[in-house]
Structure 1
Amino acid sequence: MRSALCALGAAAALVLLPAGHARAEGQEPDRDFTIQDPRITESSGLAASRAHPGIYWTHNDQDAPLIYGVDSRTGKTVATLTMAGVGTPRDMEGISVGPDGDIYVGDIGDNLDGSWDHVWIYRFPEPETLKDQTVKAKQYVVKYADGARNAEALMVHPKTGRVYIASKNEDGGGLYAGPERLSPSGTNVFRRVGKVPWVTDGAFSPDGDRLVLRGYFTAEEYAWKDGRLGDGGTAIGAPFQGQAESVTYTPDGLAFMFGSEGRNSRVVRVDRDAERPSDSPTARTPGAPKAPAAQNQGDGQGSATTGFLVLAGATVLVVGLKRLFRKG
Structure 2
Amino acid sequence: MFRILSVVFVTGLVSIANAQLCTKWSAPQKLGLLDTKMLKEVSGLTVSKQFPDRIYHHNDSKDLGAFYITDLLGGHTQEVLFTSEKVVDIEDVSMGPCDVGQCLFLGDIGDNKKNRKTLDLWILPETETFQDIAATAKKVTFQYPDGPHNAESMAVHPKTGDVYILTKEADEEGERRSYAGKLYRLSRSAFGLKDSTLQFVGTIDLPWLNYNYGLFGGMATGMDISPDGQNLLIASYENFMEISMNKIMNEVPNSRSWKRNQDYRVIDLRDFLSQLEAVGYSPDGNSFYFESEFNPEDGGDKESPLFRMDCLERKP
Alignment of 1:215-230 (within 5 A): 215-225=236-246, 227=249
Alignment of 1:87-102 (within 5 A): 87-99=85-97, 100-102=101-103
Aligned-pair CA distance for 1:135: 5.8
Q: Which residue of 2 aligns with 1:22?
A: none
Q: Which residue of 2 aligns with 1:319?
A: none
Aligned-pair CA distance for 1:257: 1.1
Take 1:135 and 1:273, find their aligned partners in 2: how far apart are those partners?
43
- Contact 2:158-2:228 at 8 Å conserved across structures: yes
Take 1:135 and 1:168, find their aligned partners in 2: how far apart are those partners?
33
Take 1:171 and 1:248, find their aligned partners in 2: how far apart are those partners?
24
Q: Are residue 56 (structure 1) and residue 79 (structure 2) matched?
A: no
Structure 1 unaligned runs (5+)?
A: 1-25, 281-328
Structure 2 unaligned runs (5+)?
A: 10-28, 170-177, 207-218, 295-301
- Contact 2:80-2:130 at 8 Å conserved across structures: no
- Over 3 Å counting, the alpha-carbon distance change for 1:29 and 1:71 in structure 2 is farther
Offset from partner CA, 1:261-286 (integer Å, 9 cap, x none): 1074112111124325xxx4xxxxxx
Take 1:180 and 1:137, find their aligned partners in 2: how far apart are those partners?
16
- Contact 1:28-1:73 at 8 Å conserved across structures: no
- Contact 1:41-1:264 at 8 Å conserved across structures: no
Q: Counterpart amino acid of 1:52?
A: F
Alignment of 1:147-296 (within 5 A): 147-169=147-169, 170-196=178-204, 197=206, 198-225=219-246, 227=249, 231=258, 232-238=263-269, 240-262=272-294, 264-275=303-314, 280=316
Take 1:156 and 1:238, find their aligned partners in 2: how far apart are those partners?
25
Structure 1 length-normalised TM:
0.70
- Over 3 Å counting, the alpha-carbon distance change for 1:131 and 1:236 in structure 2 is farther
Q: Which residue of 2 aligns with 1:117?
A: 117
Q: Which residue of 2 aligns with 1:65?
A: 65
Q: In structure 1, which of residues 20, 25, 28 is the aligned counterpart of residue 7 of structure 2? A: 28
Q: Quick check: which one's helix share is greater?
A: 1
| Worse-matched range after superposition: 155-164 or 183-192 | 183-192
- Contact 1:29-1:73 at 8 Å conserved across structures: no
Q: Counterpart amino acid of 1:203?
A: D
Take 1:124 and 1:236, find their aligned partners in 2: how far apart are those partners?
32
Take 1:210 and 1:34, find their aligned partners in 2: how far apart are those partners?
28
Q: Counterpart amino acid of 2:292?
A: S
Take 1:215 and 1:193, find their aligned partners in 2: how far apart are those partners?
20
SS of aligned partner of 2:147: coil
Identical pairs, percent: 31
Aligned-pair CA distance for 1:116: 0.9
Structure 2 length-normalised TM:
0.72
Take 2:136 and 2:45, find their aligned partners in 1: how far apart are those partners?
20
Please give the root-mean-square deviation of Cα atoms over the aligned residues, in Å: 2.5
Aligned-pair CA distance for 1:134: 5.0
SS of aligned partner of 1:272: strand
Q: Counterpart amino acid of 2:39?
A: I
Q: Counterpart amino acid of 2:190?
A: L
Aligned-pair CA distance for 1:27: 7.9
Q: Counterpart amino acid of 1:146?
A: D
Take 2:125 and 2:96, find their aligned partners in 1: how far apart are those partners?
9
Aligned-pair CA distance for 1:62: 2.4
SS of aligned partner of 1:87: coil
Take 1:38 and 1:185, find their aligned partners in 2: how far apart are those partners?
38
Take 1:34 and 1:127, find their aligned partners in 2: how far apart are those partners?
25
Q: Counterpart amino acid of 2:137?
A: A
- Contact 2:185-2:199 at 8 Å conserved across structures: yes
- Contact 1:80-1:133 at 8 Å conserved across structures: no
Take 1:132 and 1:69, find their aligned partners in 2: how far apart are those partners?
16
Aligned-pair CA distance for 1:185: 3.6
- Over 3 Å counting, the alpha-carbon distance change for 1:177 and 1:74 in structure 2 is closer
Take 2:60 and 2:235, find their aligned partners in 1: how far apart are those partners?
17
